[in-house]
Structure 1
Amino acid sequence: MNTVKLTKILGEEPLSMSSVGGGCIADSQIIATRSGKKYFLKQGFSNGMFEKEANGLRELASADVIRVPEVIHTSKDCLIIEYIKNGSKKKDFFEYFGHKLALLHQRTAEGYGFFEDNFIGSTPQINLASEEEKNNWPLFYWNKRILYQFRLAEKNGYADKTLTSLISKLESVLEDILSAGAEPPALLHGDLWGGNYMVDESGSPVLIDPAVYYGHREADLAMTKLFGGFSEDFYRAYQQTYPLKAGASEREPAYLLYHVLNHLNLFGSGYYGQAIQLLRKLTKK
């Protein structure tokens, strides 16, 4: 983005722009202005991804529970948000984080899904649902999450006989698995792993890079465990604030499966074995 356009958006001239490493999708930069303010710029795509991310950040911010970067500007090909300086975790960081996530999940909607589709990583995430799906979590989760990812796996050449057979068996049991934990649609970050939160100057959590929708809160918690999990203090505080229904651990593989299938489609066959393992656990085969 050129200096003239940035000046018009920010209301002052940029003094410097420095690239930020660590991201695997967007080109990210920190903008410093003459007044001393800083902003975070993401660009590099023109598929509407940044507009979807902005809407997700706004939805999370509207709950007024966990800090989220303020959206300054968004367009089809860029996103400018509040720059938040990295800090160090305060002593009770994970306890505080777990408590706050539990409060976030108490923000509910009338139906499952979201007012628009968005992205999970760089994969489209389908949130627009039929009236039946809006009121039926197992149906929504099957159609918009598992089946959608499986169809992508077919296109990408990963759906061999074993994966196809297990997915077919899962379809026949998924409703029974998920129905036992029925709850109202909760506001979800959607992609909550260690890389999608940061620590601010006060040592508190900040949610970034969301894939927001309204779904079952156990789906958010499952994602936190995909790459080793958060501190035990996090889960203990969550449970104390908003206890999970019985059987949550048995439903967890179903929620992990969505993300593992997505990683299979994004990053390749290294995730195939994990997908098969989860499917066998769910189908007892």
Structure 2
Amino acid sequence: MSRIALIAGEGLLAPAVAAALDQPLVYALDHLKPQVAARPFRLERLVPFLDELADQGVTQVVFAGAIRRPRIEPDLFDPRTMTIVPRILMGMQSGDDAALRAVLDVFEESGIAIRSVDEILPDLVPQEGVLTGTPSPRDQKDAARAAEIVAGLGALDIGQGAVVAQGLCLAVEALPGTQAMLDFAKAHAGLKPDPRGAGGVLYKAPKPGQDRRIDLPTIGPDTVSQSAEAGLAGIAWQAGSVILLERANAIARAESAGLFLWARG
């Protein structure tokens, strides 16, 4: 019987995906703390882990949640995983997308198909439209500028987000993640030319050419609260390409804080 496995990362996405699947087998890298019960595995023993999936009848896998890079312990590699180490390490040195692609390739070569989160839960990925609030003409220009910046960053496999206020880039997303980017934007809010002008926009989008089956950008209620604390006017993202967690809660927080939420076409 064909089964599906969930590779759980941290955050609220993994529990949402687990709830939508029929008795999935749930696993997580052993250095992570997912919010769903999961069996641990190590990257250094990836091939034996794939054998375990095959023994359990797993033919499909979905990755969901934030995955922090593990600290590699060379002494823990088994002989068969050792043969693919160069591919994995080369990917990890190139950037997040390259590292994930290397891992996906290994899964697929083992006969395991990769399913995307938006295939399982399409309602988590809003299509074009404003969910709440009204982006001003200045906000729309800031979102357009941020989209250009994210496309440039993504081409270098750096990040999936940027904050732009009054045409100026206040922060970009890098390895520390979205919260660190918003904290930086908050700390440097005084750099806006007009203190009473446009507050700024957080924009998120996948990297150009990114494999959509894994690591789609994600926003949620906490992102809304952090954006409000940073003094931003709202959040925009590439329509049909970003996961919105707890939509009702995110919208309620945005309305309470006076922020707009916009799936930008």
> Larger strand proportion, structure 1 or 2?
2
Mark yes or no: TM-score above 0.5: no
TM-score after normalising by structure 2: 0.32
> Larger helix proportion, structure 1 or 2?
1
